[in-house]
A and B are shown apart, each in its own frame.
Chain A
Amino acid sequence: MTKRRPAAAARDVLDQLAEAEERTTLTVDGHELPVSSLDKPLWPGQGRRKGATKRDLLRYLTRVWPFIRPHLADRPIFVTRFPNGVTGKSFFQKHWEPAPPFARTVKIHSAVNDRDGDYLLCDNLATLLWLGQMAGLELHGWFSRTNPEPDATGRSRKFTGSEAALERSILNYPDFIVFDLDPYLYSGREGHGEEPELHRRAFVRVRSLALRIREILEGLGLVTFIKTSGRTGLHLYLPIVRDLDFDAARGVAETIARHVRQERPKEVTIEWAVRRRTGKIFFDYNQNSRGKSLAVPYSPRRHPAATVSMPLAWDEIERVYPTDFTIHTAPDLLEREGDAWDEMLDARQDLAQVLGAESAP
């Protein structure tokens, strides 16, 4: 695993943040970025785990930038913003008009209103910190990228004009198949209508299922990667060569979901209705769709303890718990232990070849 030290630019930003009053203008790689309410609490903390302010968030984003960068690069980004912290109201933002001059955007056709819209790409630290300034805590990335390099150089980069053009483009070919495991196991302390909170019993079960899925795929000769969602679930990623489109990726995920549901019918559900998921782990294979997204690796989450979605090595999974990884603990761990997903994006597997499928005539 590679250990990355913060670059000079990042150290410079950390110095500015240490000295700044409640509001200031940061200079990030030569870009001016006004920031405000630096000491506003965004996470309240929970038990021994302390809360965090916007200054803490910006420090965190600066320190993890070298690790989060490859997972954001060339991907349309959605953000969940919490202007009054995670206990307040939130909204999910997809379109950015106008974006600041240093932020790159990409025009993509939207089938819903049949027009092209601007989507944000996060290719530099200034953009990431700008999202932090807007209390955009949760960073969601598409599973496909606008850049066909290095494995799909022939694919189209035309994303506008029509649904058909978008379908033919590289954005219709994901870099990985995701297995989103979400336990609908309630601790009993949730309020009416609330989602299940994180608790040990649920985590043990979702972990057991993740290990089983890894075992099944390993049996087929396929390597998977795991991260905490930062909330209650676990995310498994299967990086692939980009010659399967989203429909095929979803087909693969669905086949595996149905297989494990058959194997563990009392534990696993693929039901859409929340009521019918209760007491089981929801295996969400439908995430594998163009325009859908999961929290990117190292994204902060809305959990009161300021948890992050943490990539893990498989042999760690038995020893850890999601709240071990917060915006306070993760940067030190990363700089000390290295990045467990350092090779994830490069570990592309040719499913057709591994499975011995006949290629197209």
Chain B
Amino acid sequence: MARAIWSGSISFGMVSIPVKLFGATESKDISFNLLHATCGTRLKQLRWCPTDEVEVPWSETVRGYEYAKDQYVTLTDEDFEKLPLPSRHTIELTAFVKESEIDPVYYERSYYLAPDERAEKPYALLLQAMEQKQLTALATITIRKKEQLCAIRPKSGAIALETLYYPDEVRQPDVDLDNTKVSERELGMAFTLIELLRKPFEPEEYHDHYREALAQLIDAKLEGREVVKAPPARETGVIDLADALRRSVEAAKKGGKARAAAKAPARRRTRTSRTRKVS
């Protein structure tokens, strides 16, 4: 099984059930890397500061909230740690509702909860109770610094967790049909059409045709050797540096002609430097 992305416990009345959270879905989109068209090298993303004109390491970054144009208030990791998050590492069940009461627009991502060691019994108990009552639990969970509303329900013999959008994250539709009239006859024709296409939901019948076509195209290119090969990386790694340093230290320790030859220009530079400022 995949790696757990979260571990904590379900808090249900007096009972606490240790669980792990796993992703329930995965995207199968074919992804691409961006290459430099002229040389075929994979492009590197830089965090670039246009003011200092330097690449910025993660250690020098801070989160800024833009409260007005170009004006930021900054928050550090410590600030985030201080935020009150009661649901940190607990899934707090707060209410039970019918699944049909939750509009699908609220669903964000799907996960499975798996019982931790020795938590099978209370886990199975909660699962069976929800199955028999045909109810879904509402709860809160904190994943990646964000407290989220979620729904917990029985699914294929396990407990599934769906994170939900908060109501203020769901937009209202902007559609106006007040001046559009539909006749009884037109509605009757639509009913007929719908009945013709009515059948059970069998997701296995559906495929991503675009992805299949793309995979075929890539296979064809590989067959025809129409392949762009990345040039070998330049030798600038630390290993090469270590090697170069080792060679210079070895040369020095062994003395000899190579070293004497390398010496002359260095001495000359030393002398020119008299005119240089003293730093």
Contact = CB atoms under 8 A, between A and B. Distances in A.
A291 B252 CA distance: 19
A289 B272 CA distance: 13
B241 A251 contact: no
B60 interface: yes
Interface string A179-194: 0101000000000000
A87 interface: no
A318 B259 CA distance: 39
Contact of A357 (B236, B249, B270): B249
A138 B278 CA distance: 10
Nearest to A360: B253
Given A182-B279, A256-B241, A294-B279, A357 B250 contact: yes
A292 B273 contact: yes
B246 interface: yes
Contact of B236 (A229, A244, A263, A360): A263
Contacts of B279: 180, 182, 229, 231, 233, 284, 294-295
A140 interface: yes
Contact of A286 (B236, B248, B269): B269
Contacts of B57: 208, 211
Interface string B244-279: 111111111111000100110010011011000111
Contacts of A252: 245, 248-249
Contacts of A96: none
B236 A262 contact: yes
B83 interface: no
Interface in A187-245: 195, 201, 204-205, 208, 211, 216, 219-220, 229, 231, 233, 243-245
A247 B269 CA distance: 12
B73 interface: no
Nearest to B59: A318
A202 to B, nearest CB: 9
Contact of A355 (B234, B242, B255, B263): B242
A138 B262 CA distance: 33
Interface size class of A (residues with CB under 8 A): 35 or more
A263 B53 CA distance: 15
A357 B249 CA distance: 7
A293 B250 CA distance: 26
Contacts of A195: 277
A292 B270 contact: yes
Interface string A232-276: 010000000001110110111001100100110001000010000
B2 interface: no
A251 B251 contact: yes
Nearest to A112: B271
Contacts of A78: 278
A250 B253 CA distance: 14
B117 interface: no
B52 A351 contact: no
A267 B245 contact: no
B52 A201 contact: yes
Interface string A269-306: 00010000000000010100101111100000000000
A272 B266 CA distance: 12
Q: Which 3 A-B pairs have the closest CB atoms?
A: A248-B252, A251-B248, A355-B246
Given A244-B252, A247-B259, A267-B54, 12 more contacts: A182-B279, A201-B52, A204-B54, A247-B262, A252-B245, A259-B241, A272-B269, A284-B279, A293-B278, A294-B279, A352-B250, A360-B255
19 contacts: A80-B278, A201-B53, A204-B54, A208-B57, A216-B241, A220-B238, A251-B249, A262-B236, A272-B269, A286-B266, A286-B269, A289-B266, A292-B270, A293-B278, A294-B279, A295-B279, A355-B245, A356-B246, A358-B250
